[in-house]
């Protein structure tokens, strides 16, 4: 595990963007990448998008979504895809052929598809205050899960309802790559900002492996890089 | 995870030996390897030793022990080193400069030393009926442990006492790379023979990640190969 | 460059077979390989074929021919494919979907196809007394050539005519991956037996880079392993 | 080979800097790097230096000089080291323990030292109008040369005399990693700016392998990235 402490969001955005550009350009053949939605990476994508958009050097990069929250409206594309389109795929003008949507329909074949396509080279992860990453909320998945459908009932349903304007739209499930699928990637990079993430970072870096803190398992990956500001790192330094 | 089913011990020994030779020869620079003692790999070392002994092509391979059980006799070299000397280091005539002993004295620096030396390229693991690997017996270590000293009291003391002719020799501790240190290696290969290992293999391949079954965590490594005979594989196929 | 000297053909066959098995098993995803026909590798394929045939562990290996000599008979499959079928593909029962034929029709797309498929992970090469490898005979290709069609006229036509029972069958061309395409593979392993190869091995290992000795360029590859017997190595040790 | 065309020096500097940062951060263990002096990379180092200086994330990067021009003054540190100190090592505050000077005294052990230290992970190269890179001027080295001492006589002496204020200071030799040593690195990235480099880029990308154009050999490396502006790329697109 490599810990990199940055001063602020701007430094995090630049360094993470630089790291991703360098990783993409480290392979002459197809590079398979998963990237996170959310607020922490917004600056990363603002940094990356114009650079990716203007260069043909990144046409070998394929993007695989690692989770998706649909709605009861079958015409809705999903929370993750909507957000990634807005944050990155649209401003970076990524060609549709390079984007691989994870959906309620194709999730069961996702791991095999990834294997056939050469496996994931890297994943950019965020982390929640509750230690979740991707759709791996506490209680939603188990460490041994590959890509799964999570039943959204009780507290889990409440957790995702904030994404929707109307309770009628809240779906009864979501899909996500589970811990086993995430750990199968060759490289992981996780970003965090702010003291409200400090406890989650402690569980990730120093805490016991405990399913109550989903990201606590990531410390076992042989190639994990954590980039966070001093506030988020304050419990581990 | 890659599962390879073989017919019998001879096939396992040959295939594992071939795999190790190929991996060693896949790097032009230093190759750092950990190998297991025990009965399962005996055939592997019989296969390997004469080939390694007669060739200068393997001088770049460095061996790092991943555990050690000392005795109360300070002159005793330790169970792991004694067994590896007999099984492999002596017949393969490995030069002392290529062998890195893990001891009660140096275990605390082991992870940093490995990192300075370039990290472990590969580990050859066995598995116990109780799902242990290296010195990671149920109850002895936690998933988040790096290289540690395990206090050998109660049932744990009983577990290692069989290695010694006299109860006076049984030590009050052993040292082992913990799950976190093992998972940090670039490649893992685990071998198993016989139906008495079938349940442990099930926990490894299909079972939940559960500290009662230490090897259940290994399923989360991005580059794990399991080689076992049909008896050991019978619950996972 | 790594030089490995073996005692005889049996040792060369075993070690090369072991190396290839280990390399194939070093990737969990698709492994792209090119292998040579000829007499030197006969023992390698006798060693490999039964092992590959009986295991499902090698289904991720794809074979790309690196040259082909057709005949004037359009129904003839080609010298390389005929020989590889006999030496390896048939006894190892390689599925047709894993074999990618290089032909007079598809050679111009060969490099792009390889790139799309992830690039060649490794090539097993032989070497001729004249320092040729693949279809790169002296005067046939230039160091900067990718996969090309070679016009078989004059001395070059004579060189291939020995493959045919009748002069009417000798084609007016062959196809081959040129030096630039061969050098683009991630790993090269080259095998040689006998004192008649000693001069070619000298040019490969120690001699100047000179197009009169096509294999002299291979010394510039960052991951080349040469396995040869003492007779073939006698000028370089 | 991967060709990346950028609009101007600023884009080249940023993209090359990003690439190097990403490559450095792609390894958790020691990363061995060679970097070029000259005017083309000035912007790259202005981009990199403050980022490298303020972060502890780059302490695993070791720098190996690939050439050196001494002077007749034994107290002089050498043209390459002087320039790299000014351009990068000083502003980036690289610790002396991470800098490995190539000198007239240690050049003969340079290749073996690199191998012992794990080999070069990457080299940042420039290119001259005469197609030279490092100290590989036309006529100075041969493609098969490892690290060598070049006798500076005749035209070669004239070529380096411009580095010195007084003819008395011009040395009778320089040292450089030769083509064989450069090609042994795992990754190469070469940068170029301006139409005066267009012909050299043509020889590199499309031209025949010819010792009159030293960089023409680089097209045979399996992992070469060329970053250049439109003027420098104008003959190859």
Whether C185 maps to a domain, the answer reads no
Q: Match 């790299």 to its residue by tokens.
A: D84
Q: The domain spanning residue B26 has which CATH number?
A: 3.40.50.1360
| Residue B233 · residue B5 · CB < 8 Å | yes
pLDDT < 50 regions, chain D: none
B130: which strand partners?
none
What SS3 class is residue B175?
A: strand
Strands D148-151 and D173-176 turn out to be antiparallel
| Residue D173 · residue D149 · CB < 8 Å | yes
State the helix-helix crossing angle for C42-54 and B9-24, rounded to 10 degrees.
130
Rounded alpha-carbon distances, angstroms, from residue B180 to A71, B177, B214, D184 = 39, 8, 12, 34
Picking from D142, D206, D208, the nearest residue to C208 by CB comes out as: D142
Selecting among B60, B101, B111, B130, the annotated active-site residue is B130
Asked if the model's pLDDT at residue B237 lies above 90, the reply is no
Q: What is the ipTM of this complex?
A: 0.96
Per-residue DSSP letter, B199: H
pLDDT confidence bin for A237, thresholds 50/70/90: confident
Whether D236 maps to a domain, the answer reads no
Residue D163's pLDDT is what? Answer: 95
Whether A7 maps to a domain, the answer reads yes
| Residue D54 · residue A11 · CB < 8 Å | no
Whether C91 maps to a domain, the answer reads yes
The count of domains in chain B is 1
Picking from D29, D116, D119, the nearest residue to B119 by CB comes out as: D29
Picking from A4, A22, A187, the nearest residue to D19 by CB comes out as: A22
- In angstroms, the CA C158 to CA C138 distance is 13
**Tens of pLDDT, residues A27-40:** 999 999 999 999 99
Residue B36, both tokens: 């297991």
| Residue C15 · residue C6 · CB < 8 Å | yes
Phi-psi region of B50 (alpha: psi -120 to 50; beta: other; left: phi over 0): alpha
pLDDT < 70 regions, chain C: none
Chain B residues with CB under 8 Å of A180 CB are 219-220
Residue D237's pLDDT is what? Answer: 87
| Residue B224 · residue B190 · CB < 8 Å | yes
Active site residue A73: no
Chain C contacts to B (CB-CB under 8 A): 1-2, 4-6, 14-15, 17-26, 28, 51, 55-57, 187, 222-223, 225
CB contact (8 A) between residue B144 and residue A183: no
Whether A83 maps to a domain, the answer reads yes
- In angstroms, the CA B140 to CA B136 distance is 6
Selecting among A62, A100, A132, A221, the annotated active-site residue is A132
Q: Match 């991707």 to its residue by tokens.
A: A134
Alpha-carbon Rg for chain D in angstroms: 17
Active site residue B67: yes
**Tens of pLDDT, residues B138-182:** 999 999 999 999 999 999 999 999 999 999 999 999 999 999 999
Rounded alpha-carbon distances, angstroms, from residue A223 to A2, A233, B125, D120 = 8, 19, 20, 20
**Tens of pLDDT, residues A115-156:** 999 999 999 999 999 999 999 999 999 999 999 999 999 999
Picking from D15, D22, D51, the nearest residue to A26 by CB comes out as: D22
- In angstroms, the CA D193 to CA D203 distance is 15
**Tens of pLDDT, residues C145-183:** 999 999 999 999 999 999 999 999 999 999 999 999 999
A22 contacts: CB under 8 Å, gap ≥ 6: D18, D19, D20, D21, D22, D23, D24, D25, D26
**Tens of pLDDT, residues B97-115:** 999 999 999 999 999 999 9
Taking residues A217-225, what's their average pLDDT? 98
Whether D232 maps to a domain, the answer reads no
Chain D contacts to C (CB-CB under 8 A): 142-144, 179-180, 183-186, 206-209, 216-217, 219-222
Whether D235 maps to a domain, the answer reads no
Count of other CB atoms within 10 angstroms of residue B182: 29
In whole numbers, what is the pLDDT of chain B averaged over residues? 97
Q: How many CB pairs under 8 A join A and B?
A: 55
Residue B131's pLDDT is what? Answer: 98
Hey, which chains touch C, using 3+ CB pairs under 8 Å? A, B, D
Up-side HSE of residue C73: CA atoms within 13 Å toward CB? 11
Chain D residues with CB under 8 Å of A225 CB are 25, 28
CB contact (8 A) between residue D144 and residue C183: no
CB contact (8 A) between residue D223 and residue A22: no
Chain D residues with CB under 8 Å of C3 CB are none
| Residue B144 · residue A209 · CB < 8 Å | yes
Count of other CB atoms within 10 angstroms of residue D162: 7
> Which structural domain range is residue C101 located in?
18-121
Residue B45, both tokens: 């070392």
Active site residue C62: no
- In angstroms, the CA D71 to CA D161 distance is 10
Please give the backbone phi and psi of residue C136, each rounded to the nearest 5 degrees, phi first. -90, 70
Whether C43 maps to a domain, the answer reads yes
């Amino acid at each position: 595990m490599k810990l990199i402490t940055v001063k602020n969001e701007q430094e995090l955005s630049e360094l993470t963007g630089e790291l991703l550009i360098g990783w993409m350009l480290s392979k002459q053949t197809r590079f398979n990448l998963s990237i996170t939605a959310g607020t922490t990476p917004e600056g990363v994508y603002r940094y990356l998008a114009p650079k990716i958009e203007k260069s043909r050097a990144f046409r070998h990069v394929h993007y695989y979504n690692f989770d998706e929250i649909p709605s009861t409206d079958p015409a809705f594309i999903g929370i993750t895809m909507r957000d990634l389109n807005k944050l990155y795929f649209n401003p970076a003008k990524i060609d549709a052929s390079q984007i691989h949507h994870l959906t309620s329909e194709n999730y069961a074949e996702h791991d095999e598809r990834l294997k056939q396509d050469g496996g994931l080279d890297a994943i950019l992860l965020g982390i929640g205050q509750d230690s979740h990453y991707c759709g791996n909320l506490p209680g939603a998945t188990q460490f041994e899960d590959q890509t799964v459908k999570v039943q959204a009932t009780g507290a889990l349903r409440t957790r995702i309802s904030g994404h929707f304007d109307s309770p009628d739209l809240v779906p009864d499930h979501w899909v996500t790559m589970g811990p086993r699928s995430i750990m199968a990637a060759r490289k992981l990079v996780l970003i965090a900002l702010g003291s409200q993430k400090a406890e989650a970072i402690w569980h990730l870096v120093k805490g016991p492996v405990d399913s109550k803190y989903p990201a606590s398992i990531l410390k076992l990956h042989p190639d994990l890089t954590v980039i966070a500001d001093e506030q988020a790192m304050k419990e581990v330094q």
